[in-house]
DNA sequence: ACGTTATAGTTTCACCTGAAACCATTTGCA
DNA sequence: TGCAAATGGTTTCAGGTGAAACTATAACGT
């Protein structure tokens, strides 16, 4: 005999559902950091990500930025245009392949980078402060595994 | 004497930067799941999230959905409207407070829920399969800490 | 050498998103 | 009781986003 008046629909429990928890955490963290530099420097998150790539790998093409950020190529194209317009990035053309752009931070771009980078790092430290040293190591290893293709 | 020709700009290493890694992981995972049901059921991720809440907590108001999902109230309002239009959610008015809506899944809504929920769970299992039982426990505890306000 | 195919990057389009303004209703308090 | 403030929800507006189409250039195979 079935005493359940309503069939068991087995609803998802979002608060224990890993993809959902990751989404909440990621949004909270990223928006927390972005909120600081967006207003202060009129800098969007995609623009900032492009800048971090150009800081580490000067003279790359837009395509390499796409590869290194996992961002959409349209998003990168637009972010780069805005950065060039704002005088934060210099865009040249590759010798020998006129399709390719050659991107690097301008002086102004470096100046902003050098202000925002410590700010981002401080946020990360604050987040990691909630964990023990052991947990930080675990998280690092776990993310490595989950992010492996 | 300073032998560094260029000042040390200390660029961020995105691939080791926690907020960035979380963002990549979260997007990959969520989009992987959403890709399956979006086309098959014309169901957006926000709509699906609203449905999971209504599955677990029948007869809630839109405001409660907002509270439980950490989604924007505009996004919830629109998702609910689409779900009502599609006949997947029934929207009534609260007795004694005509501002409040009373939302619940319709028969059609439940039918879709019962197809998508196992699919979502399967994706989560697949993701967690990359980890050992111990790592899964660690991740759970770590997320608890990081998500605590 | 030359036409097909591939690649770098931009534009278009259709949609999603959040902040702010807005409307209706309810609550709180003088 | 009556009026200001708060609340639930929707609409508006000003972006941001990705898929697909497009342009320009380069690479490849015959």
Q: CA–CA separation, B98 vs A110, rounded Å?
A: 56
Residue B6 pLDDT grade (very low, low, confident, very high; cuts 50, 70, 90): low
pLDDT value of residue B22: 93
A17 within a domain of the structure (yes/no): no
B27 within a domain of the structure (yes/no): no
Chain segment B31-88, per-residue pLDDT in tens: 889 988 998 899 999 999 999 999 999 899 999 999 998 899 999 999 999 999 999 9
* pLDDT of residue A111 exceeding 60: yes
Q: Establish whether the CB of A60 is closer than 7 Å to any nucleic acid atom in strand C.
A: no
Chain segment A46-93, per-residue pLDDT in tens: 999 999 999 999 899 999 999 998 899 999 999 999 999 999 999 999
pLDDT value of residue B3: 55
B22 within a domain of the structure (yes/no): no
DSSP calls for B94-146: ETTEEEEEEEEE-HHHHHHHHHHHHHHHHHHHHHHTTS-HHHHHHHHHHHHHH
A64 within a domain of the structure (yes/no): yes
Can you give the distance from the CA of residue A28 to the C1' of nucleotide D10 in angstroms? 26
B69 within a domain of the structure (yes/no): yes
Beta-carbon contacts of B20 under 8 Å, excluding residues fewer than 6 positions away, are A49, B14
The minimum CA-CA distance between A41 and chain B, rounded to whole Å, is: 18
Residue A67: domain span:
35-147
* pLDDT of residue B149 exceeding 80: no
A139 within a domain of the structure (yes/no): yes
B84 within a domain of the structure (yes/no): yes
Q: For chain B, what is the domain count?
A: 1
A141 within a domain of the structure (yes/no): yes
Query: How many residues comprise chain A?
Result: 149
State whether residue B119 sits within 8 Å of chain A by CB: no
Chain segment A3-47, per-residue pLDDT in tens: 555 557 888 888 899 999 999 899 889 988 998 899 889 999 999
Closest residue in B to A132 (Cα–Cα): B142
Q: Establish whether the CB of B89 is closer than 7 Å to any nucleic acid atom in strand D.
A: no
CATH of the domain at B94: 1.10.10.10
């Amino acid at each position: 005999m079935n005493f359940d008046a309503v069939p068991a629909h087995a609803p998802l429990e979002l608060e224990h559902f890993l993809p959902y928890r990751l989404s909440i955490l990621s949004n909270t963290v990223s928006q927390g950091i972005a909120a600081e530099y967006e207003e202060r420097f009129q800098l969007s998150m995609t623009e900032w990500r492009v800048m971090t790539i150009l800081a580490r790998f000067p003279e790359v093409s837009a395509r390499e930025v796409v590869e290194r950020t996992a961002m959409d190529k349209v998003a990168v194209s637009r972010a780069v245009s805005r950065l060039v317009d704002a005088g934060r990035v210099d865009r040249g053309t590759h010798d020998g392949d006129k399709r390719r752009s050659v991107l690097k931070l301008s002086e102004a771009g470096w100046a902003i980078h050098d202000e925002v980078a410590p700010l981002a790092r401080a946020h990360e430290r604050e987040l990691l402060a909630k964990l023990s040293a052991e947990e930080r190591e675990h998280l690092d290893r776990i993310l490595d595994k989950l992010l492996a293709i």
